[in-house]
Chains A and B, each alone.
Chain A
Amino acid sequence: MTGYVIRRLLWTVVLLFVVSLITFVIFYLLPSSDPAVLRAGRNPSPEVVAQIRVQLGLDRPWTVQFAHYLGRLVLHFDLGHSYHNDASVKSEIFERLPATISLALGALVVWLTAGIAIGVISAMRPGSLFDRLAMGGALVAISAPVYWLGLVALYLFSDDFGVLHVFPGAGSYVPLTHDPVRWFASLIMPWCVLASTYAAIYARLLRATLIETLSQDYIRTARAKGLRPRRVVLRHGLRGAITPVVTAAGVDLGVVLGGAILTESVFNIPGIGRLAVDAINDADLPLIQGTVLVGALFIVLANLVVDVLYAFLDPRVRYS
């Protein structure tokens, strides 16, 4: 197992290298903005643009720039500086991470709780009124754009202009260390909005796998043992059906940690997603690279965690 994890981590390094190479190549080959011109401001003189180009190192071939970038990254864990405002990309990212992690982990809790609860109740009584309402609602939640859900939530519940003044609205995020109560309150709506689609997907996924699991022979055995129905479903059934949910949750968490752009935008949460969007708008290659790498790292690590978790979830799986 340890060997397996080490090999996977080595592959992660290779993968991140490829990702950052691709980012570089895309930046240079596809139509994009010229960062020197953007930094030079409105109506710049050609000399100023040329100066900035030298200053940012953009005058050198992209291969040299890439090698330079990698060198600093490997030797000093230095992600470079923003073309746009010269801020350290590493510190920008570390400053944004807590918000994204808060949003992602909280949403994960919400969507797993809601998705599993709804999925289990639906699977226990397929075709019941609850099941039909829940699955209909899930379809709505899956089809509804997150952006739209966010706006609706704000218009209904935000404490400054909502119909009901319930939760702190957009821009109310504060770091956990700053004010835990306000941190929690400000994230309630973003968590629910971000979680809604996932909760719906997970409820449907779990319902389907649980219904299938409940027809398995070992569930019949559990019933034949005289276990209480609740124990049959929640221990034997859920344990058998949870694997795809855990797999999906790991991967989805990795994706969300890479930045939940729409949710962060609507609720004005200073996370990685918004940083990435700003970076792309500003043609800010070092920042784009940084956010892409962080996102890729989260996704790759999440996949690794899922695979390792698999061995614990399913004793039949063994890695060597």
Chain B
Amino acid sequence: MSVAATPLLAVRDLHVSFDTADGVVHAVDGVSFEVRAGETLAIVGESGSGKTVSVLTIMGLTRAPRTRIAGSILLAGRELATATEDDLRRIRGDDVAMIFQDPLSSLHPYFKISDQLVEAVRAHREVGRGEALRRALELLDLVGIPDARRRAAGYPHELSGGMRQRVMIAMALVNDPRLLIADEPTTALDVTVQAQILELLARLQAERGMAIVIVSHDLGVVAGLAHDVAVMYAGRIVEQAPAATLFSAPEHPYTWGLLRSMPRLDRPREEDLVAIPGRPPSLIHRPGGCRFHPRCPYVREAHRRVQPELVAGDGDPLHRTACLLAGPERRALWAWLRAGDAPAPPRRASSAAPVEPPPASPAAPGEPPPAPAAAPGEPPSAPPAPTPATMPKSPPAAPEP
């Protein structure tokens, strides 16, 4: 791992909270991450974990009179957290671009596609309409829209979902951004299209060398794309590691839950989805101690009082976890889980939803784990590909502010 390279984006101790009628919502609570040019950081978590707020804040899109933002956001050495609104505006869509979850609602329904792209060019480039249009068509071509000129003359509702997301990507890339933020870019799409879009992002990154921050609630989506993964829970990062490490040797019980709720090709679909019991906590009245303790099957009394720090484990400085369980214990638990043989977790009587032991795996014990250990930095060789039509349902969540 090249430690010397300066990260393109470095977020340090980011806090974002919103004043609402119900109280202060602490959406992001001390989050740090970085991403280098040409690399991809995935931020993963349930709805309401603060992942989207974090990335919107990078672009200044959460700024509002009732929003408090603290911390540092350095883009190529330049501080964005305190930049003026106008400076931020110049960066948005130029140095940093963003695509969103639902391409239909994210495109203006009343404007032609060409107009929306041309507008994006001309927001940052002093070029004529014709020149901007040429650029727009070039990008539409690039993202794989057939017959781009004709499509561009149409309206978003005339395109399929996948085509719309390609338009969004073209619009994001039209000014050659150094950083692309993709917020759940495939969630609204059906599964085959998901794969195409992810492939497209990977290809574009390879060609253009831009950095990507991808946000998803689904580890499966990011598995093929991400170099690094940060798992967020209740406004904090609970585990952060190179992708291969995270998939092969996750150390946080929440990550285990996420991994086990991934659909897998090698298991019957009735058995492969293990949801994490309970619901994400309120961000107004947050649980004390470890934020995850009310849902953690392995909770101990102390975990309710002490808030764990995100620290590197034994050996791998790039793999950091915020968990109060001891390292060996975590590794042992994961080994059991992976073997499909969950130990009886210590239970609280008041636990909202009992953890069901994972169903007996039809596969023989000792079967290779879903993500075999791989060299750091190398894409994991066997992250399970998403299975058609068996996407996990998002747990019911408090709406993000």
A residues engaging B (CB < 8 A)? 216-218, 220-229, 236, 239-240, 313-316
Bound Cα distance from A227 to B121, whole angstroms:
10
B34 CB contacts on chain A under 8 angstroms: none
Measured CB to CB, the closest approach of chain B to A243, in angstroms, equals 9
Among B93, B105, B157, point to the contact of A224 (Cβ < 8 A).
Answer: B93
Interface residues of B (CB under 8 A from A): 59, 61, 85, 89-94, 97-98, 100, 102, 105-111, 119-120, 123-124, 155, 157, 168, 171
| Residues in chain B near residue A236, CB distance under 8 A | 108, 111
Partner of B157, one of A218, A225, A226, A315: A315
Q: How far is the CA of A147 from the CA of B384 in the complex (A)?
A: 74
Chain A positions within 8 Å of B91 at CB level: 226
Chain B: minimal CB distance from A202 (Å): 20
The 10 listed contacts between A and B (C-beta, < 8 Å) are: A217-B100, A217-B106, A218-B107, A222-B108, A225-B92, A227-B123, A228-B123, A236-B111, A240-B110, A315-B155
| B106 adjacent to A221 (CB under 8 Å) | yes
Are A217 and B102 in contact, CB atoms less than 8 angstroms apart? yes
Q: Are the C-beta atoms of A217 and B90 separated by less than 8 Å?
A: no
Contact residues in B for A229 (Cβ distance below 8 Å): 85, 89
User: In the complex, which residues of chain B have a beta carbon less than 8 angstroms from the beta carbon of A224?
Assistant: 59, 61, 92-93, 97-98, 100
Contact A314 B110 (CB under 8 A): yes
Are B93 and A220 closer than 8 Å at their CB atoms? no
New A-B contacts (10) at CB < 8 Å, excluding given A225-B120, A226-B93, A316-B157: A218-B108, A220-B100, A221-B106, A221-B171, A223-B61, A224-B100, A227-B123, A228-B123, A229-B85, A316-B155
For B98, the chain A residues whose CB sits under 8 A away are 224
CB distance from B391 to the nearest CB of A (A): 21
Structural contact, B89 and A217, CB atoms closer than 8 A? no
Whether B105 contacts A217 by the Cβ 8 Å rule is yes
CA distance A50 to B100 in the complex (A): 81
Minimum Cβ distance to chain A for residue B107 (Å): 6
Which residues from chain A contact B90 at a C-beta distance below 8 Å? 226
Contact yes or no, A225 B108, CB < 8 A: no
Report whether B92 and A226 are in contact in the complex, using a CB–CB cutoff of 8 Å. Answer: yes
Q: Check A225 against B109 for contact (C-beta < 8 Å).
A: no
| Bound CA–CA A314/B108 (angstroms) | 11
Whether A315 pairs with B106 at a CB distance below 8 angstroms is: no
Q: Which 3 A-B pairs have the closest CB atoms?
A: A226-B93, A226-B92, A217-B105
Contact B92 A315 (CB under 8 A): no
Residues of A within 8 A of B119 (CB): 225, 227
A217: chain B residues at CB < 8 Å are 100, 102, 105-106
A223 to chain B, nearest CB (A): 6
Which listed residue (A222, A225, A227, A239) contacts B110, Cβ 8 A?
Answer: A239
- In the complex, the chain B residue whose C-beta lies closest to that of A219 is B108
CB atoms of A216 and B105 under 8 A apart: yes
A222 to B98, CA, bound (A): 11
* CB-defined contacts of A240 to chain B, threshold 8 Å: 108-110
Q: Do B110 and A313 touch across chains, with their CB atoms under 8 A apart? A: yes
Q: Which B residues are in CB contact (< 8 Å) with A227? A: 89, 93, 119, 123
In Å, the complex CA distance between A225 and B123 comes to 7
A226 touches B123 (CB 8 A): yes
CB of A226 within 8 A of CB of B107, answer no
Minimum distance in angstroms from A139 CB to a CB of chain B:
23
Name the residue on B nearest A237 (C-beta). Answer: B108
Name A227's closest neighbour in chain B (CB-CB). Answer: B123
Name the residue on A nearest B111 (C-beta). A239
- Residue from the set A222, A225, A229, A239 with the largest chain B CB neighbour count within 10 Å: A225
What separation, in Å, do the CA atoms of A316 and B157 have in the docked complex? 7
- Cα of A226 to Cα of B92 in the assembled complex, Å: 5
Return A220 CB to nearest CB of chain B, in Å: 6
Min CB distance A229 to B, Å, is 8
Please give the distance in Å from A71's CB to the nearest CB on chain B. 48
* CB proximity of A214 to chain B, nearest CB, Å: 11
For residue A315, which residues in chain B have a CB less than 8 angstroms away from its CB? 109-110, 155, 157
- Specify which chain B residues have a CB less than 8 angstroms from the CB of A221 in the assembled complex: 100, 106-108, 168, 171
CA distance A316 to B120 in the complex (A): 23
Query: Which B-chain residue is minimally distant from A224 (CB atoms)?
Result: B98
Given A223-B92, A225-B120, A218:B61 Cβ within 8 A:
no
Q: How far is the CA of A218 from the CA of B100 in the complex (A)?
A: 10
With A217-B100, A226-B123, A226-B124 as given contacts, are A314 and B109 in contact (CB-CB < 8 Å)?
yes
CB distance from A117 to the nearest CB of B (A): 21
Tell me whether A226 and B61 are in contact in the complex, defined as CB-CB below 8 angstroms, given that A217-B102, A218-B106, A316-B157 are known contacts: no
Complex contacts, A225 vs chain B, CB 8 Å? 92-93, 119-120, 123, 171
Q: Which residues of B contact A218 (CB under 8 A)?
A: 105-109
Most chain A Cβ neighbours within 10 Å, of B85, B111, B124: B111
| Interface pair B94/A239, CB less than 8 Å apart | no
Once bound together, how far apart are the Cα atoms of A313 and B155, in whole Å? 12
Say whether B108 contacts A239, CB under 8 Å. yes
Residue of A nearest to B86 (CB): A228
Task: Specify which chain A residues have a CB less than 8 angstroms from the CB of B123 in the assembled complex.
Answer: 225-228
Whose C-beta in chain A lies nearest to the C-beta of B112?
Answer: A315
Q: How distant is B248 from chain A, measured CB to nearest CB, in Å?
A: 35
Write the nearest CB–CB distance from A39 to chain B, whole angstroms: 57
User: Which residues of A have CB within 8 Å of B100?
Assistant: 217, 220-221, 224
